Amino acid sequence: MADPLLIIEDDTLLGRELARHFGARGWEPELVASLKQAKKALLEDHAEPLVIISDMSLPDGNALDLLEQARAAKVPGEWILLTGYGSVPDSVRALRLGAYDFLEKPCPLSRLEIVVAGARRSSQAQQRLRSQCRDHRRRYTPESLIGSSKITEQTRRMIARLAEVPFSALIIGGETGTGKGLVARILHNSGPRADAPMIEVNCAALPRELLESELFGHEAGAFTGAKGRHRGYLEQANEGTLFLDEIAEMDLDLQTKLLTVLEDRSLRRLGSEKTIDVDVQIIAASNRNLDERLADGSFRSDLFHRLSVFRLDLPPLRARLEDLEDLVPALIEEYNARSGRSVRHVPAQVYELMRNYDWPGNVRELRNVVERAVLLADGDTFPAEWMQLGHGMGRASGRRRSEPHVEGDALVIPLDGSMALDQMDSYIIRTALERSNWNVTAAARALGTTRETLRYRVQKYGLTGGADQDDQNAGDRTGTQTPAAADDKVPHGLHA
């Protein structure tokens, strides 16, 4: 299928030559001779050419005026402007309005062809991005939060109301697996910033130094390994949304820098003296209790109040068990499509087992249960024996929470969504320290890591042991305790 090309040229011979030339090279050209005709094609008939080649000066006006109107109406397409005389103010205005290029006549067709090819690639990339945005808008609507219970309906109405409001910041609370990421995407794609980018960041997944560079950006040479300029997430999300998941894990000094950006609506990349204006909508989420974090001083109260313009707390699955009969069929349909299965029938026993379970991992855990059952189903019936709720390895057990535990020399960690990655990491390290009598070297050896790495994680998670008692016990066993052995203990009361 030929790509559409609009040519705006009042010189009849030149216009026909351009149309003939590009028509022979796979384009579908449309030739108009005035701004009035071009305006009708673009703004009234809603033509969407990939590229527009336009003479600057036309009998009824300047093409830059039409370009400005087209940009205001969000008409797609890359503009290439031709002029018989160079004008610095016109060229500056053209580039400011987003024109792809500004060429002087006479322009060799070979050069124009190269410029048009580049404009086509740029326009196609923008077209793909617009298509993706449209798909997201259709996919992420308030109705994407599935459920017919009263509490879900109230949550859905609140999300729909918030999507209509041009808020600057919002906090989403709720247990792990309740759908905070889904709600953030709904709010962005249903709101006024849907055409702008949404950047998602998990604050718990990045070390402090890397998170600072990723959020605020850096200049070449700002630190060791910074070989080039990097636009940070805040800058990339300009005019759009930045979703900060697990914001409670952000260090206090980064919280201070983030607050400054939100207050001043500007930032400086690391290693730069230049201030960059940013307009970003912030959605923050945490499965930790931020009120407790405020009380113990690990989260700044001024940042909390700046972010909590609105606050939305998502209910756990155990508080909306009536939604199971909506959620389970939807998930089965999704995994049927992915795996080529044809599970259709869900026995009443399955729903009974689900209603008698506590769902510590919430909807994320439910997804895992449904996926496993669909993949292992022999026919069209949902297999209750493969639900494996809680610790049960055969039939689903009753209302029991998945808990990590030690079995001999083995550690058992639940993968049902009930533990976050940091919780697993902290539990493994604490268990290794307890089994080594809180000796860092011995625990590091058992975990296959270095003392320095282990000490960093001990501080990060605020792990403390009965060091005073351990030191006394060590002294009783050896008679004396060497300075190195004393230094190797986890200090009592050590916090991150």
Residue 480, SS3? coil
Q: Are 365 and 359 in contact (CB under 8 A)?
A: yes
Match 């001083």 to its residue by tokens.
Answer: 297
Asked whether 70 and 47 are in contact (CB, 8 A), the reply is no
CA quadruple 260, 262, 268, 271: dihedral sign: positive
* C-alpha closest to that of 212 among 256, 278, 262: 256
Q: Mean pLDDT throughout 182-186?
A: 95
**CATH 1.10.8.60 boundaries in the chain:** 318-386
pLDDT digits (tens, 9 = 90+) for 136-150: 778 899 999 999 999
Q: What percent of the chain shows pLDDT beyond 90?
A: 54
Fold classification of 420-487 is: Arc Repressor Mutant, subunit A (1.10.10)
Q: Give the closest residue to 80 by CA, choosing from 95, 68, 65.
A: 95
Kindly state the average pLDDT of the residues 176-186.
94
Confirm if 21 and 39 have CB atoms less than 8 A apart: no
**What SS3 class is residue 125?**
helix
Which residues does 189 contact at the CB level (< 8 Å), separation at least 6? 133, 136, 137, 139, 140, 141, 198
User: With respect to CATH, is domain 3-135 assigned 3.30.420.130?
Assistant: no
DSSP labels, 143-203: GGS---SHHHHHHHHHHHHHHTS--SEEEEE--TTS-HHHHHHHHHHTSTTTTS-EEEEET
AA identity, residue 144: S
pLDDT at 328: 96
427 vs 90 pLDDT, higher one:
427
Mean pLDDT across 467-482: 39
Backbone angles phi, psi at 347, to 5 degrees: -65, 155
- DSSP structure class, residue 141: S
In terms of residues, how long is the chain?
496
Position 324 pLDDT exceeds 90: yes
* pLDDT at 466 exceeding the cut of 50: no
Q: How confident is the model at residue 405 (pLDDT cuts 50, 70, 90)?
A: confident
Least confident range from 43-47, 176-180, 181-185, 222-226: namely: 222-226
Using an 8 Å Cβ cutoff, are 396 and 353 in contact? yes
CA distance 74 to 62: 19
pLDDT at 418: 67
Q: Where in the chain is the domain with CATH 3.40.50.300?
A: 145-315
* Residues carrying CATH 3.40.50.2300, the chain: 3-135
Is the pLDDT assigned to residue 468 strictly greater than 70?
Answer: no
Strand duo 281-286 + 266-267: pairing: unpaired
CATH of 145-315, one of 1.20.120.80, 3.40.50.1820, 3.40.50.300, 3.30.1360.120: 3.40.50.300
pLDDT category, 65, cuts 50, 70, 90? very high
Looking at residue 133, its pLDDT comes to: 72
Is residue 470 pLDDT above 70, yes or no?
no
- Retrieve residue 146's tokens: 């599935």
**How would you classify residue 462: left for phi > 0, otherwise alpha for psi between -120 and 50, otherwise beta?**
left
- As a 3-state breakdown, the chain gives helix, strand, coil percent values, each rounded to 5, of 50, 15, 35
- What would the two tokens of residue 162 be? 């918030």
Q: Looking at domain 318-386, which CATH architecture does it have? A: Orthogonal Bundle (1.10)
Ranking 262-266, 360-364, 431-435 by mean pLDDT, the lowest is 431-435
Q: How confident is the model at residue 400 (pLDDT cuts 50, 70, 90)?
A: very low
Residues 110, 111, 117: CA angle, nearest 5 degrees: 90
Look at residue 389 in the predicted model and tell me its pLDDT: 82
Task: Provide the strand spans (E) within 167-296.
Answer: 169-173, 198-202, 241-245, 266-267, 276-277, 281-286
Contact in structure between 60 and 34 (CB atoms under 8 Å):
yes
Model confidence, pTM: 0.65
Average pLDDT value for residue range 476-493 = 44
Whole-angstrom Cα distance, residue 123 to residue 274? Answer: 31
Q: Which residues make Cβ contacts (< 8 Å) with residue 260, sequence separation at least 6?
A: none
Distance CA 210, CA 216 (A): 10
C-alpha separations of 468 from 131, 181, 478, 489, 492 in Å: 63, 44, 16, 9, 7
The amino acid at residue 158 is M
Q: Residue 347 has what pLDDT?
A: 94
| Mean of pLDDT values over 63-87 | 87
Instruction: Please say if the pLDDT value at position 72 is more than 80.
Output: yes
Q: Write down the pLDDT at residue 88.
A: 73
